[in-house]
Structure 1
């Protein structure tokens, strides 16, 4: 049951929380008692009083408890009973990055996550690691004020759940937060792209959907991999949502390197392996890149698409949208083609099959994408937000080209003209954070 309260302060008695008997009874309290009041990581002992003179939706807290807990009175808070504690919240933290600058650049964008605040409710705070006090378990951050729709700076205890929004958090910080709030520190993974590939390759249900790949080490290994596949994608192993660099072996003495991130395309001629090795060394540092068989092979018809996957409030993965680029025979560059929803008609045009078969393929795509993300989770991580890049070929072969499990942007839904999908995804993220916070 949801118990939204209006919080007021009282200067008459110290160490007291006063509730209407009906409100107290809704979460199992029938008489005056002593309990700990918790807001985030901070808890204080209090006496619970029941008073019929108080409106049912109001709670009165003595000022000493309000100050100790740093409770914000302008937020839409709820109250519930858990064991020997009364929780006030939900208190959700948004970890934006390492430094203060990361918050300053993101505060306006974070308002998108609170578009459905009426359903999320609670205290929502954005913070960076730079302003965390490990000793006192407090942090300086920006708390959302639902009345003014603005962020207000302050110092607060650790939140009950922390939604990691940066692409990486050091093991030391992750261990620290997990020791305090456990699995409620979520959407963080210690896997880089190569680690993720190895994890997927070890999954019985997923490995057959993966193209061949190797970690870049020696130039001669790169050379023989390129000779075998003629077209390869080279990716940084860092968790960045960037397009891979394509290397194409045009013939035995010529190759092309195309970097869509810089719009750079260069042709190289080589007349010995050593010359080819020099080109590889120029572009790719050993150990920093993985090399993957390219699925996008000239002459073979396919559709590339992205599946957006998030956890619902119960922790179950859900596909929220599938997007691709509209193919246009007059437009040779896929990078400037419009982004659209992947419809069953797209698959029907490619595969030339009937409705029943196409529906089965569509569902199989979703199943594979969800299973891939599930394969990346373990006892040490609690993911919540992912994007799976996939390809389907003209004979119905399905491939996973990349799994971005470190908070990918879902603005692709906005670009495609589906703002309702975009805001639904962000709301779902926050409802999961709310659940982890105890509400």
Structure 2
């Protein structure tokens, strides 16, 4: 990495050692375009034997125009008369500046391998975006102090989103900003666009129908009774919901209909003696077009806990997908969901497959490979539809006979914290590290 220093004279100059940057030798006293994030400026190249190879001097006018922080170490890439300084990766983390500040300590996992990434790494919120000025205000990582500093910067060269705007008032403004980033940066914006559970089902059903439960969009109460008559046991889920919230399990036994759900962290159960009796309940709790109805996947139970699996994958520094870990999730006893936030717990998948499914090592390997293949096939379908993903978490259901069903694909913020909860710290940090390496790759480094 290079150390960029100010050259205290007016003008548009870049001064380097002759042997410093490959590709610059032919540009003595010639102009090149110098790029940082979305900003660029014309500079004249000068060589000097009096400066260290690792140092690059830029006129103070140039530094001011680029708004280039000098606390970071950079790489420089020369291509076709342009020199790019970077990488410059912006992580859109939160909806508000207040939440960004509150969560700041957790972002250290993104810069744990900074010496292999380099450049400017900034975290920011939707509130920190100044669209007209094409700047962000957030926190820049200072590698020397190992701390985050408040900074106003130009739009980055690469933007990664881990924000969770669904079901919030920020939904529309989030998309407005992300579309603007896409128009400026093209393919250097990832973990965007977002898709709903229904859109996911529509995209996957032609290629992976055998791994999808029957699913329909809720438009009226009759949709529920039609699915109940076919399957007897169904789930109703919000299209954009997360963390197991606003989910209903509905079971029909003869004329009786039983509904289980959580509300305000309390478990509820309603029993209706007929379809007509349940009508008002569903009308009160459901909004047409905002929920889907799904055939219940026959998940295996263990000591009163429902079990499913999370497959965690991320792209590497070459833009290729890697499986970083598979984890089982045990729902809290009696819960209708397996989410850890609802009181569940997790462990390494192979341990569960051995102790609960009683599988031998070869069978475990086969099951895990099949899960991985389903995930990679799903990703291929989604990316062919224009979704640019950097990491993803896919929830897979497994029945007694090891038949697999896709439950959900987590893409807004497919947080690798499940690895920490399963005592797999290496996978957690590897996921964060690979995201940054992938950002570096997208930036051309």
Using the size of structure 2 for normalisation, the TM-score is: 0.89
Match of 1:81 among 78, 82, 87: 78
Structure 1 residues 128-159: Cα deviation after superposition (integer angstroms, max 9, x where no partner): 23332322322222211112222222221110
Residue 25 of structure 2 is aligned to residue 29 of structure 1: yes
Match of 2:292 in 1: 290
Structure 1 residues 35-81: Cα deviation after superposition (integer angstroms, max 9, x where no partner): 01111000000001111111011111111111111111111211111
Query: How much has 1:352 moved relative to structure 2?
Result: 5.7
Match of 1:121 in 2: 118
2:301 & 2:331 partners in 1: Cα distance? 15
Asked whether the equivalents of residues 5 and 78 of structure 1 are also in contact (C-alpha less than 8 Å), the reply is yes
2:436 & 2:71 partners in 1: Cα distance? 19
- Check 1:94–1:372 CA distance in 2 against 1; reply closer, same or farther (3 A cut): same
Asked whether the equivalents of residues 94 and 164 of structure 1 are also in contact (C-alpha less than 8 Å), the reply is yes
Match of 1:193 in 2: 197
Matched residue SS, 2:25: coil
- Check 1:363–1:261 CA distance in 2 against 1; reply closer, same or farther (3 A cut): farther
Match of 1:53 among 50, 53, 61: 50
Asked whether the equivalents of residues 350 and 394 of structure 1 are also in contact (C-alpha less than 8 Å), the reply is no
Match of 1:316 among 293, 315, 320: 320
- Check 1:298–1:19 CA distance in 2 against 1; reply closer, same or farther (3 A cut): closer
1:87 & 1:56 partners in 2: Cα distance? 18
2:151 & 2:271 partners in 1: Cα distance? 56
Match of 1:397 in 2: 403
Match of 1:366 among 359, 368, 372: 372
How many pairs align?
A: 429
Query: How much has 1:219 moved relative to structure 2?
Result: 0.3
1:314 & 1:196 partners in 2: Cα distance? 26
- Check 1:297–1:40 CA distance in 2 against 1; reply closer, same or farther (3 A cut): closer
Match of 1:208 in 2: 210
Match of 2:236 in 1: 234
Structure 1 residues 104-125: Cα deviation after superposition (integer angstroms, max 9, x where no partner): 2322221221122122211011
Match of 1:339 among 328, 332, 346: 346
1:389 & 1:255 partners in 2: Cα distance? 26
Asked whether the equivalents of residues 248 and 259 of structure 2 are also in contact (C-alpha less than 8 Å), the reply is no
- Check 1:11–1:298 CA distance in 2 against 1; reply closer, same or farther (3 A cut): closer
Query: How much has 1:231 moved relative to structure 2?
Result: 1.8
Asked whether the equivalents of residues 299 and 308 of structure 2 are also in contact (C-alpha less than 8 Å), the reply is no
Structure 1 residues 228-286: Cα deviation after superposition (integer angstroms, max 9, x where no partner): 22221221111534354322224422413133872412132223x22121121122221
Q: Which moved more, 1:98-107 or 1:185-194?
A: 98-107
1:416 & 1:298 partners in 2: Cα distance? 20
Residue 103 of structure 2 is aligned to residue 102 of structure 1: no
Structure 1 residues 412-437: Cα deviation after superposition (integer angstroms, max 9, x where no partner): 11111111111110111111111112
Q: Which consecutive unaligned segments of at least 5 residues does structure 1 have?
A: none
Asked whether the equivalents of residues 233 and 296 of structure 2 are also in contact (C-alpha less than 8 Å), the reply is yes
Matched residue SS, 2:76: strand
Asked whether the equivalents of residues 310 and 329 of structure 2 are also in contact (C-alpha less than 8 Å), the reply is no
Residue 415 of structure 2 is aligned to residue 412 of structure 1: no
Residue 179 of structure 2 is aligned to residue 172 of structure 1: no
Asked whether the equivalents of residues 235 and 248 of structure 2 are also in contact (C-alpha less than 8 Å), the reply is yes
Match of 1:93 in 2: 90
- Check 1:251–1:116 CA distance in 2 against 1; reply closer, same or farther (3 A cut): farther
Matched residue SS, 2:2: strand
1:178 & 1:29 partners in 2: Cα distance? 34
Q: Which moved more, 1:44-53 or 1:350-359?
A: 350-359
Structure 1 residues 197-240: Cα deviation after superposition (integer angstroms, max 9, x where no partner): 111113x2x22100011111110111121232222122111153
Residue 247 of structure 2 is aligned to residue 256 of structure 1: no
Query: How much has 1:127 moved relative to structure 2?
Result: 1.7
Please give the root-mean-square deviation of Cα atoms over the aligned residues, in Å: 2.5
Matched residue SS, 2:106: helix
Query: How much has 1:380 moved relative to structure 2?
Result: 3.6
Aligned residue runs from structure 1 range 268-283, under 5 A: 268-271=271-274, 273-283=275-285
Query: How much has 1:13 moved relative to structure 2?
Result: 4.7
Q: Which moved more, 1:237-246 or 1:227-236?
A: 237-246
Matched residue SS, 1:181: helix
1:311 & 1:292 partners in 2: Cα distance? 31
